[in-house]
Amino acid sequence: MTEHQDRPAAAMTAAQAELIRRLAAQLRVDSIRCSTQASSGHPTSSLSAADLMAVLLERHLRYDWDHPALATNDHLIFSKGHASPLLYSMYRAVGVVEEDELIHTYRQFGGRLQGHPTPVLPWVDVATGSLGQGLPDAVGVALAGRYLDRLPYRTWVLCGDSELAEGSIWEALDKAGYYKLGNLTAIVDVNRLGQDGPTELEWDMDRYARRVDAFGAQPIVIDGHDISAIDEALTRARSRPDQPTVILAKTIKAKGVPEIEDQNGWHGKALPKDMAERAVAALGGPSNLRITTALPEPGTPAITPDPGAAVSLPRWEVGEKVATRAAFGAALSALAARPEIVVLDGEVGNSTHAGDFKDAAPDRYFEMFIAEQQLIASAVGLSVRGYIAFAASFAAFLVSRPFDFIRMAGVSQASIRLVGTHAGVEVGQDGPSQMALEDIAAIRAVHSSIVLYPADGPSTAQLVQTMADTPGISYLRATRVHTRSSMVQRKNSRSAAAKSTTQAPTTP
């Protein structure tokens, strides 16, 4: 779909390699310093990935740090959010976080350098810290890049090896392959040790590679501490336009601190002060290396949002009968007039009526199949690039199955629109498994959420339009049966907000 060719990377010079080594040492030193100062955090999980991130930062990431919202910027998501010391040390290396903030505010109350990254930091796209979510979110970002923005930015994701046990990772790779997301690269830090002992596959790189390959991505196995090998792998990842790449990097946990390298029992523990001092000294001591990352090439998104576009909502006379799910589909189709509206389906679009949108705007309709976690993650990822994504499925599965993704969308302060149909006991014949009964309680417990439960077609149409411009997590609950229209539709429906949403909270 994209017409852009990635700019080839020139071969790494000896000077660059040396710079990268110094950068990696600084990232390690800073990861140790900030976590020891905080007396908590995950330095050993940061140390294993320092070489990977040093090469990425110096050689491959294209990012304008002064303009984090720039459409052409690459995206960097730490799916292993607990490696936040490393991420924040990278921010220091590029000059957007000062040494004092890094060392003295990390994990402190009121500070923005939280234990796990959130978008209170302008360079963080999505909150991570619930494992197995960063890569699925990144699929949404990459979908935006390839199919909507049509810009050559890349999405880089640092994954842990433990999180590859989460099914959501495989939902993500499956969809990344299906949608030919050559703009997506996952870098897996295979350091063999989880929180509580060895991971299931430890350093069985071949097994990882076969899984990745079978799910449709290009696997590249490397030594994650070999600067040249890392650079070559990242270059190869950039040169495959139609297939995602997973770099499987064999690493050593706590690499750079020999006395605890590859040792169990050091997950999520700051180094004691004396050990930290020894380690920092052995790594060359604190430094003030400042890295200039490449800027993205200029470009303009193929889609320009048009929130003021004329939308002709469907209308029903008082007394006319329509199922609210059908009203949802009709309203959604009308909203297709706004080019920033995108729809995600969980292989039930013919029943939820989300599928109606496909006829109106096939290029902005993404089939996620029966993978509700990825359904929500894609919506979150698309929201990173400003797209207004509606994700729809049966209410029983839309809320419960990906509930942790909805929870994390709240932490991300993401704006996503969820529509669950066939809600409640009305689907009696299908049995209790098909009845959404827990959805209202569950959703309302999530930060920044609102629940909308319209009684008829006109209110549904109005609320669907209102959702598009409502920040936070909005959830519309629709039914299968036809209900009689009781609301008189306003003529100027464009600006009218339904009464039931006037008390809706918004994200702070």
**The two structure tokens encoding residue 199:** 């991971």
The contacts of residue 90 (CB under 8 Å, 6+ apart) are 27, 53, 57
Residue 184 parent element (H or E): strand 184-190
Residue 373 lies near a copy of itself (rule: CB under 8 A)? yes
From candidates 433, 492, 502, 503, binder to a copy of itself by CB under 8 A: 433
- Number of H helices and E strands in the chain, helices first, is 18, 15
**The two structure tokens encoding residue 315:** 């209308």
- The distance of Cα 383 from the centroid of its chain, to the nearest Å, equals 9
**The two structure tokens encoding residue 142:** 């990459």
Residue 428 lies near a copy of itself (rule: CB under 8 A)? yes
From candidates 355, 420, 454, 458, binder to a copy of itself by CB under 8 A: 355
- Within 13 A of 95's CA, how many CA atoms are on the CB side? 9
Q: Which stretch binds a copy of itself (CB under 8 A): 17-25, 255-263, 279-287, 340-348?
A: 340-348
Residue 489 lies near a copy of itself (rule: CB under 8 A)? no
From candidates 228, 263, 351, 500, binder to a copy of itself by CB under 8 A: 351
Question: Under a CB-based contact definition with an 8 Å cutoff, are residues 209 and 147 in contact?
Answer: no
Q: Is 165 exposed, middle or buried (0-12, 13-18, 19+ CB in 10 A)?
A: middle
Residue 453 lies near a copy of itself (rule: CB under 8 A)? no
Q: CB 313: neighbour CB atoms within 10 A?
A: 20
Q: Which stretch binds a copy of itself (CB under 8 A): 108-116, 143-151, 486-494, 500-508?
A: 108-116
Active site residue 372: yes
Residue 171 lies near a copy of itself (rule: CB under 8 A)? yes
Task: Label residue 88 left, alpha or beta by phi (over 0 means left) and psi (-120 to 50 means alpha).
Answer: alpha
Residue 132 lies near a copy of itself (rule: CB under 8 A)? yes
Chain residues 458-487 in contact with a copy of itself, contact rule CB under 8 A:
none
Adjacent-strand bridge partners of 418 = 391, 475
Tell me how far, at minimum, the Cβ of 438 lies from a copy of itself, in Å. 4
Tell me how far, at minimum, the Cβ of 131 lies from a copy of itself, in Å. 5
Residue 434 lies near a copy of itself (rule: CB under 8 A)? yes
From candidates 404, 424, 482, 497, binder to a copy of itself by CB under 8 A: 404
Residue 165 lies near a copy of itself (rule: CB under 8 A)? yes
* The dihedral sign for the CA sequence 351, 356, 362, 365: negative
Binding track, positions 198-237, relative to a copy of itself; x by CB under 8 A = -xx------x--xx-xxx----------------------
Q: Which stretch binds a copy of itself (CB under 8 A): 52-60, 114-122, 306-314, 320-328?
A: 114-122
- Among all residues, which ones are annotated catalytic? 372
